[in-house]
Amino acid sequence: LLPASAEGRARSRTLASFCLGNMMPFQYWRVVSFLKADMGLSDAQVQKWRRHWLEDGFEQVEDWLKNPEALCLSLPGGNSCAAPEPGRFCIGDSVSMADIFLMPQVYWSQKGDAALRVDLSKYPHLKKVYENTAKEEAFVKSCPENI
């Protein structure tokens, strides 16, 4: 689930970490319960809050997928990494950790609560990755409706 190259592994881990820390928590039941019970937010306010952070995350991921050099890390000796070739998935043509962490967020933005549905046409690179992963047997089997 990690690319062969050090650069690819770093990119995959960066995307996965971003999804884990900046997108997933906003969907967690604990967080939503806190917003409603402790903060007194209405369902509509919570949905607005969740949608904002989901779309904010999608915008960042779309930017990284569109401009993969933005994920280049400074290498020892001042060398810059080469931008990866566009592929079917987040990092090239093989499923990586990045896809595994990102796809649940995209899935729920399409199949979950209607109030959280996101128009993926605003994120063409993300949409392409989602459509490609949706064809992969492991992703299909892991969808809630198939468990």
Read off the pLDDT of residues 11-25 as tens digits, 9 standing for 90 and up. Answer: 889 999 999 888 887
- Greater pLDDT, 9 or 115: 9
Secondary-structure percent of the chain, ordered helix, strand, coil, rounded to 5: 70, 0, 30
Which pLDDT does position 73 carry in this prediction? 59
CB distance 104 to 147 below 8 Å: no
Which pLDDT does position 75 carry in this prediction? 54
H or E element that contains 11 = helix 6-22
Spatial distance between the Cα atoms of 16 and 125, rounded to a whole number of angstroms: 16
Terminal C-alpha separation, the chain: 22
Residue 63 CB contacts under 8 Å (≥ 6 apart), including other chains: 70
Question: What confidence tier does 83 reach under pLDDT thresholds 50, 70, 90?
Answer: low
DSSP designation for 89: B
pTM: 0.86
Strand partners, 89: 92
Which pLDDT does position 96 carry in this prediction? 94
Which pLDDT does position 98 carry in this prediction? 94
DSSP designation for 38: I
Q: Tell me what the mean pLDDT of segment 123-132 comes to.
A: 96
The answer to whether residue 122 scores a pLDDT higher than 70 is yes
Spatial distance between the Cα atoms of 61 and 23, rounded to a whole number of angstroms: 10
